[in-house]
Structure 1
Amino acid sequence: MLTTIQINALKPREKPYKVADGKGLYILVNPNGSLLWRVKFRFHGIEKKMALGRYPDVGLKEARQKRDEAREQLEGGVDPLAARILAKIEAEAAARTTFRVVTDEFIEKMEREGKAPATLKKMRWFRDELQPSIGHRPIAEISAHELLKALKRFERKEHFESAIRARSFSGRVFRYAVATLRAQHNPADILRGALITPKVKHHAALLEPAKVGELLRAIDGYGGKIETRIALQLAPHVYLRPGELRKAEWSEIDFDAAVWRVPAERTKMRKPHAVPLSTQVVTLLRELRAMGNLGSYLFPANSTFLKPICENTLNVALRRLGFTRDEMTSHGFRSIASTLLNESGLWHPDAIERSLAHRERDSVRAAYHRGAHWEERVRMAQWWSDYLCKLRDGAEIIRPKFGT
């Protein structure tokens, strides 16, 4: 068996030569003077050699330890050389499979599946926010403690809702990693209930009929851009989501059929949504059309007709009219419609839900009602517009007719 003194005394020759230590371990002396540890073994009758490192980086004691580990693998029926190659491949793959890499791939998948641009934008925002903490880390190595520390950064800024949404988003990324065999577990699942739950804030809206009348009168007197005034006038009648309204295109409006067809890619539920148009809405749309704005958008931006108005335009207009964010928001028009239509007791709840384009949780029920209530919705649209006009003019307050 070799000693350290003997190894240090080895001199290079014209050709490489071996000096044995024992049990397959030897040191290879190269002409350039390098000393390399090797171990030879037989696996299924085939002789193999495995490098153990360079001397003196790997000392005699460590080389013997590595040899013994290889022999233990052999006794267990494992090829130590193949095991090392596989471990190296897995380590390299893990190093390349960082949270950022998997997240980018997941977002690309969501984009291919038709998720809304706004949804993809939020995903990228969460990805960028998590990048400094865990973006560079191999996703399979991220622990629940590490993820929790990253999420607590949101809480320290009192962004409690963002913290919860970031946990949910990271959970979806981890589930994707598990499904694609790049992680063994989802640490986000363990953290359910670990974050502060913020108090739920509903979209501000004026729900008293008399107050709604005041709002409608104020909108009619809006002195800003005409397109903005018409958008505000349309909002309570069609009660679309703000993004669906402001990004509306003329190709969606069928004047002959009196229908507004919102394409699936612009709806929250990723399903096409048809809105029956009352005579009041058609009149407003014809007024808007007569303005002759260029481009495809009903409500083009100030700077270019190639883009719609920004998401804050209607809320800013409501502030100019004197309504605070705690009183009324552009999303609040949907709350007004939902509340007062239900309180009227005149319409089937499913017809109201369909008009609001809410998701039907029961898939069987959703399939059954897909084409249902259209005629009722047409009647309801005209009744609702007539009722709004009466509120605007200061007359007729809804009295619930739940027995009807």
Structure 2
Amino acid sequence: MRLTDTAIKNAKPREKDYKLFDGYGLHVLVTRSGSKLWRMKYRYRGREKLLSFGPYPLVTLKHAREKRDEARLMLLEDLDPSEERKRARIEKDREREVTLGAVSQEYLNKLEKEGRAPATMKKLRWLVTLIEPQLADRPLRQIEAQDVLRLLRKVEANGTYETTRRLRSTIGSVFRFAIASGRASSDPTEPLKGALIRPTVKSRSAILDRVELGKLLNAIDGFSGQPTTMHALQLLSLMAPRPGELRQAQWSEFDLDDAVWRVPPERMKMRRPHRVPLAPQTLAGLRELQCHTGDGAFLFPSARNWQKPMSENTLNAALKRMGYGSDRITAHGFRATFSTFANESGLWHVDAVERALAHVEGNEVRRAYVRGEHWSERVEMAKWWADELDAMRRSTQNE
């Protein structure tokens, strides 16, 4: 006989626990203390087992029957309801642990182990802090495109469009990392492409006029600050490296007899070793610099601590002191200066110029075939560029 709410309500405790059966194993266990607990007895692969559905009346008769029927459907599919319940509970606990903040930190640790540059890691860790107010504690599977968009809109409202773009990209990378490890099923940043304000691309300032460049070179030669800063700017113009690569350069990387600077991969933007040919003028400058800093590790040590390289702001501050603000040229702009003059001269293969700048071919197919360093051509190009700079310097010495 099927149970009714009235029968359950009227059931009184006895000296021993007893059961009120509803059908298909579902029953109410009435305890000596008066509690009324839903249970379901069933058999799975020959073994008798028991499910608990909770107390009555918190779990109603209707709800208990629904739970019983769900369990019966599992049995029809040869699934054990008890084991399925445990599995669901474990999955929920796992989802609670797999938050965006936790996986972001795991992703950053992975990049750090891969040897990403400290400056890159610093920027990425800062970007990850921007997710903390809203999304860091949210399970990945609960985060949708609209959630990410609300966060990005708040950042975008400050006018920091490039930061917003980078934040979207970083969150997307974290989700793809989670997808690869089976902790997420989709990337909610994918539908957001085109939804954000595009930042205005602003090229770093560079001097592309021979007369203006000659004046700058003379200004550098006459710099009245630290001699090491003057040498750094001279070498920056001669070799056109990234400022960070030059600023952190160590004497152990230079072979002055062989006229080559070997930059280790961990200090290169693309994590590939790079060789730089040294023109005679470059070698002369290095030997003069060696008299100042050759006893230490760094070519350009910090004025406060010789165990560390000079500050990343030093070179731009020196240019500004000479009257060359960021609207005219930056330390990084020397690369654009060299690239423009070298390409416009028509003397050098474009791939040789790109290798000199340590650029990596963007086209994957072409990159697979273009692997040479163009070393001989680059040696000649380094000499040509040093001579060009001398010629510009001489032509403006009296102006």
TM-score category by the smaller chain?
A: over 0.9
Q: Is the 8 A contact 2:293 2:299 kept in 1?
A: no
Aligned pair in 2 of structure 1 residues 11, 350: CA closer, same or farther (>3 Å)? Answer: same
Aligned identity (percent) is: 49
Q: Is the 8 A contact 1:276 1:378 kept in 2?
A: yes
Aligned pair in 2 of structure 1 residues 56, 345: CA closer, same or farther (>3 Å)? Answer: same
Secondary structure, counterpart of 1:134 in structure 2 = coil
Q: 1:236-281 CA distances to partner (integer Å, 9 max, x unpaired)?
A: 1010001101111111111110101110011011100100011111
Match of 1:88 in 2: 89
In structure 2, distance between residues paired with 1:157 and 1:14: 71
RMSD: 2.1
Shift of 1:355: 0.4
Q: Kindly provide the amino acid, as one letter, of the partner of residue 272 in structure 1.
A: P
Aligned pair in 2 of structure 1 residues 293, 373: CA closer, same or farther (>3 Å)? Answer: closer
Shift of 1:14: 5.9
In structure 1, distance between residues paired with 2:129 and 2:33: 50
Match of 2:186 in 1: 185
- Report 1:262-301 matches (<5 A): 262-292=263-293, 295-301=296-302
In structure 2, distance between residues paired with 1:22 and 1:70: 13
State the TM-score, normalized to the length of structure 2. Answer: 0.93
Match of 1:197 in 2: 198
Q: Is the 8 A contact 1:294 1:305 kept in 2?
A: no
Q: Is the 8 A contact 2:293 2:301 kept in 1?
A: no
Q: Is the 8 A contact 1:206 1:328 kept in 2?
A: yes
Q: Is the 8 A contact 1:351 1:376 kept in 2?
A: yes
Match of 1:315 in 2: 316
In structure 1, distance between residues paired with 2:71 and 2:247: 68
2:30 aligned with 1:29: yes
Q: Is the 8 A contact 2:148 2:188 kept in 1?
A: yes
Q: 1:300-348 CA distances to partner (integer Å, 9 max, x unpaired)?
A: 1122112111211111111111112111111000000000111111111
In structure 2, distance between residues paired with 1:391 and 1:205: 16
Q: Is the 8 A contact 2:99 2:140 kept in 1?
A: yes
In structure 2, distance between residues paired with 1:55 and 1:287: 90
Secondary structure, counterpart of 1:270 in structure 2 = coil
Secondary structure, counterpart of 1:271 in structure 2 = coil
State the TM-score, normalized to the length of structure 1. Answer: 0.92
Q: Is the 8 A contact 2:293 2:300 kept in 1?
A: no
Match of 1:208 in 2: 209
Q: Kindly provide the amino acid, as one letter, of the partner of residue 323 in structure 1.
A: Y
2:55 aligned with 1:54: yes
In structure 1, distance between residues paired with 2:57 and 2:384: 90
In structure 2, distance between residues paired with 1:194 and 1:182: 26
In structure 2, distance between residues paired with 1:119 and 1:207: 29
Aligned pair in 2 of structure 1 residues 289, 41: CA closer, same or farther (>3 Å)? Answer: same
Q: 1:116-149 CA distances to partner (integer Å, 9 max, x unpaired)?
A: 2222222212211112221111112210111111
Match of 1:377 in 2: 378
Match of 1:261 in 2: 262
User: What number of residue pairs does the alignment pair up?
Assistant: 396
Gaps of 5+ in 1: 397-404
Shift of 1:231: 0.7
